[in-house]
Amino acid sequence: MDDLQLSFGGLKAVDGANLEIEPGKITALIGPNGAGKTTLFNVVTGFYKADGGSISFDGNSIMGKNPHSVAKRGLVRTFQLTKSLGRMSVLENMMVAAPSQAGEKLFAAWFVPWVINRQEKQNRQKAIELLELFNLIEKKDDYAATLSGGQRKLLELARALMMEPKMILLDEPMAGINPTLGARLLEHVGELRDKGMTFVLVEHDMDVVMRVSEHVIVMANGKVITQGSADEVRQNQEVIDAYLGTGGGAVEEALDEVMEGKPADGRE
Amino acid sequence: MIAYFQTVLITAGIFALLAQGLNLHRGYTGLLNFGHVAFFAIGSYTMAIMVTQFEFGFFTSFIGAIVAATIFGVIVALPAIRLRTDYLAIVTITIGEIFRLVIQSGPGVTELTRGPRGIRGYSNEFFFLREDLGLGFLDPQMYLLAIVWTAVIVVGVLLFFLLRSPWGRVLKGIREDEDAMRALGKNVTSYKIQSFAIGAAIAGLAGVLFAMDIGSLSPVAYLPLITFQAWTIMMLGGMGTHFGPIIGSIIFWSIFNGTLFIPDSIVSGAEAAYLRQIGVGALIMLIIILRPQGILGSREEMVLDK
Ligand SMILES: Nc1ncnc2c1ncn2[C@@H]1O[C@H](COP(=O)(O)OP(=O)(O)OP(=O)(O)O)[C@@H](O)[C@H]1O
Ligand SMILES: [Mg+2]
């Protein structure tokens, strides 16, 4: 994407973001609270209209496209504040996400029920496998609204994977997830990456970032201030400058700031 | 006595249809439609105008009425789908009223609708048809009753299969969180229009049957009250349930007409009419206090937030 811009009133939430996501890799997007990470996701996935710039995915421009057409092209996102379909069962939440369902066409149910039945069977199978992986299988018949906060995060991730995306933007997927399960999910993410899926994740936990990501992008005040491999970013002077001001503390300290998401104010 | 039950059941059937359409909008798609009566009216009027002024046969006019209601559903949906919740409610209630006033006194339009004088004489062919259908042994009221309830059952079955299919699941998803559905690659706008159009078509069908029941049309028969009655029926039966509109409608109209059984020595006919309205108001309050999920709705679902 090139020179992406979005303002809310006077505030430049995304200000000339320029970046490229490498396919088949896990990229981490980090930066303090209010840096514009979620807003960037919203712009890329069509939920907000950018004021300027360009975005392309898989060789085609997706600038100004509707959220659903972006998602249909295989660029899928999750929400920082989870959106579960509360009065539908966990399994229904999964099933509804399956891509290209014949039965989603109006009146298909009257004319080609057998096609629908076959697809439903396959999708249910896939949904159940994912729910098992995400430790949600016992909850499959419960209303999604009865899930705990962490379980909703899990459901949202599982639901996004149900769509078989090419690229997936995860907004703090690990927030509130128990570390053991989190590790298992990251392992699964790694496996999917090996199969060619591209991941971008917003994450405040630097341990996770350093462990899983091959590429790290640092944002602050709507701008991409640096990017590179995890180690490069760790040593980048600009990161330190951005968060602590010039001549600030040690690298580790700078990263601590990023990690805790405190705003940069350049003073002690 | 039999006449009483016939009347109640005919009205109940017509309003069951109306509530089935509304239930598709509100119960399954989460669209706050408060202008349902407009679709009802367009069904009645299209049929009546086609029969009386253009001398189409009943079947053609019947199809025409449903097509007109469907198209009108799409037209209403186009501005409405950009709006959410309360705003949609305000716009739809306004559309309903504007529509009625246009029928009543719109320049040019009244040449077709005959304004407040109304239309009559459109129902002969419909009632003669019963010979052809082999229902000649039924008196006209019984025949209408049979047709109305056939329509309720057919619509009920068709909706049942639609709503338990993946298409219906998408509608429910939109009811729960439309942004989540967008992120899942569903064209929310298109589904809302589809829902609007089908619900409107069902209301148009109800409108045709209503016209046959009342025998002559006039704009005063299409007050917003009709919309509110359909809402009450849907809530009474249970929003988002398959059989709620049907059960709700039977109970609603039994209570509504129950005042007929109060002897004249206690309340006079005119007082009874007011009593009905009071009864409906009390019923709405009772539902909301005692059983907000309706007769068939699930309490568990009711208390969940999103
Ligand atoms: N809809 C909106 N209207 C107005 N301002 C907004 C809106 N959405 C975000 N902002 C502002 O844009 C800035 C960037 O917000 P954003 O949510 O993108 O931050 P973030 O990097 O995701 O932060 P966090 O790590 O806390 O999730 C913030 O200052 C925020 O207040
Ligand atoms: Mg955020």
Gap from CA of B270 to ligand 2 centroid (Å): 64
Model confidence at B12, pLDDT cuts 50, 70, 90, reads very high
Distances (CA, A) of B154 to A142, A183, B27, B149: 32, 53, 19, 8
Task: Please report the pLDDT score of residue A148 as a whole number.
Answer: 85
Q: Of B25, B67, B10, nearest to B210 (Cα)?
A: B10
* Cβ contact, residue pair B185, A146, below 8 Å: no
Residuewise pLDDT in 10s, chain A (268 residues): 555 555 555 555 566 667 778 888 898 998 888 888 898 899 889 998 877 777 888 878 888 889 999 999 999 999 988 898 999 999 999 999 999 888 888 888 788 888 888 999 999 999 999 999 888 999 999 999 988 888 888 899 999 999 999 999 999 888 888 888 888 888 888 888 888 889 999 988 877 888 888 888 888 887 788 888 877 777 766 665 655 444 434 455 555 555 555 444 434 3
Rounded-to-integer distance, Cα A143 and Cα A87, Å: 6
Nearest CA to ligand 1 atom 24: A33
A200 Cα–ligand 2 center, Å: 13
Establish how many alpha carbons lie within 13 A of residue B300's alpha carbon, considering only the half-sphere containing its beta carbon: 9
Mutation to test the B interface, candidates A77, A80, A85, most B Cβ within 10 Å:
A85
pLDDT band at residue B220, thresholds of 50, 70 and 90?
Answer: confident
CB–CB of A86/A143 below 8 Å? yes
pLDDT of residue A268: 37
Domains and CATH numbers, chain A: 4-84+164-259 (3.40.50.300), 88-146 (no CATH)
Q: Which residue from A87, A107, A120 is facing B301, i.e. has the nearest CB?
A: A87
β-partners of residue A224 are A219
Rounded to the nearest angstrom, the distance between the alpha carbon of A180 and the centre of ligand 2 is 24
Mean of the pLDDT values across residues B275-280? Answer: 78
Interatomic CA distance for residues B306 and A79, integer angstroms: 15
What is the torsion angle, in degrees rounded to the nearest 10, for the CA atoms of residue B192, residue B195, residue B199 and residue B201? Answer: 100
Residue A87: closest CA among chain B residues belongs to which residue?
Answer: B301
Q: Rounded CA gap, B173 and B166, in Å?
A: 10
- pLDDT of B83: 82
pLDDT score at B223: 86
Q: What is the pLDDT of residue B283?
A: 79
Q: Please tell me the distance in Å from B135's CA to the nearest CA on chain A.
A: 29
Which residue, chain included where needed, has tokens 């009474």? B236
Distance CA B1, CA B148 (A): 20
* Interface touch B166/A92, C-beta < 8 Å: no
| Residue-level pLDDT at A13 | 59
Q: A140 CB near a chain B CB, below 8 Å?
A: no
Q: What is the pLDDT of residues B87-132, one digit of tens each?
A: 888 888 898 889 888 888 878 777 788 878 888 888 887 887 887 7
Instruction: Say if CB B5 and CB B13 are below 8 A apart.
Output: no
Closest in B165, B167, B185 to A68, CB measured: B185
Using the Cβ of B107 and the Cβ atoms of chain A, whether some distance falls under 8 Å is answered with: no
Mean pLDDT, chain B, rounded, equals 87
Q: Which ligand has the minimum distance to the alpha carbon of residue A36?
A: 1
Hey, which residues does A76 pair with through a beta bridge? A168
Distance from the alpha carbon of residue A33 to the mean position of ligand 2, in angstroms: 7
Confidence of residue B300 (pLDDT cuts 50, 70, 90): confident
Nearest C-alpha in A relative to B189:
A68
Task: Determine which residue's CA is closest to atom 26 belonging to ligand 1.
Answer: A33
Q: Where do the structural domains in chain B lie, given as residue ranges?
A: 2-223
Give percent of chain B with pLDDT exceeding 90: 45
Amino acid at A133: L
Q: Which residue has the higher pLDDT, B68 or B58?
A: B68
Q: Which of B161, B167, B182 sits opposite A105 (nearest CB)?
A: B167
Q: How far off is chain A from B298, nearest CA to CA, in Å? A: 11
* Residue B174 confidence (pLDDT) above 70: yes
A215 shares contact with chain B (CB less than 8 Å):
no
Of B169, B151, B173, B174, which Cα lies nearest the Cα of B77? Answer: B174
Q: Residue B228: enclosing H or E segment and its boundaries?
A: helix B224-237
Rounded CA separation A75/A67 (Å): 10
Query: If DSSP states are collapsed to H, E and C, what string results for B96-154?
Result: HHHHHHHHHHCCCHHHHHCHHHCEECCCHHHHHHHHHCCCCCCCHHHHHHHHHHHHHHH
With a Cβ cut-off of 6 Å, ligand 1 is lined by A 8, 11, 13, 31, 33-39, 80, 261
Q: Which of A138-152, A182-196, B187-201, B218-232 has the highest mean pLDDT?
A: B187-201
Question: Out of B170, B177, B304, whose CB is closest to A83?
Answer: B177
Q: Residue count of chain A, please give it.
A: 268
Phi, psi of A17 (to 5 degrees): -70, 130
Instruction: Flag whether residue A84 sits within 8 Å of chain B, measured between CB atoms.
Output: yes
Token pair listed for A76:
């899928």
Q: Which two tokens stand for residue B232?
A: 């009450």
| Three-state secondary structure readout of chain A | CEEEEEEECCEEEEEEECCCCCCCCEEEEECCCCCCHHHHHHHHCCCCCCCEEECEECCEECCCCCHHHHHHCCEEECCCCCCCCCCCEHHHHHHHHCCCCHHHCCCHHHHCHHHHHHHHHHHHHHHHHHHHHCCCHHHCCCEHHHCCHHHHHHHHHHHHHHCCCCEEEEECCCCCCCHHHHHHHHHHHHHHHHCCCEEEEECCCHHHHHHHCCEEEEEECCEEEEEECHHHHHHCHHHHHHHHCCCCCCHHHHHHHHHHCCCCCCCC
pTM: 0.87
Round to whole Å and give the CA distance between A202 and A172. 5
Task: Report the SS3 class of residue B165.
Answer: coil
What's the CA angle centered on B256, arms B11 and B288, to 5 degrees? 110
Chain B nearest-CA residue for A119 = B166
Closest-CA distance, A87 to chain B, in angstroms, reads 6
Q: CB–CB of B80/B92 below 8 Å?
A: yes
* B267 in Cβ contact with B274 (< 8 Å): no
pLDDT at B186 over 60: yes
Q: Is residue A67 within 8 angstroms of chain B, CB to CB? A: yes
A103 contacts in B (CB within 8 Å)? 165-167
Residue B42 pLDDT > 90: yes
Instruction: Give the model's pLDDT for residue A250.
Output: 47
Nearest CA to ligand 1 atom 19: A34
What residues contact residue B42 under an 8 Å CB cut-off, 6+ apart?
B65, B68, B69, B72, B99, B200, B204, B207
Would you say residue B16 has pLDDT above 90? yes
**Distance in angstroms (rounded) separating the CA atoms of residues B183 and A75:** 9
- A77 touches B at CB < 8 Å: yes
Q: For residue B54, give both structure tokens.
A: 């253009």
How many Å apart are CA A62 and CA A75, to the nearest integer?
10
Residue B172 in contact with partner chain A when CB distance is under 8 A: yes
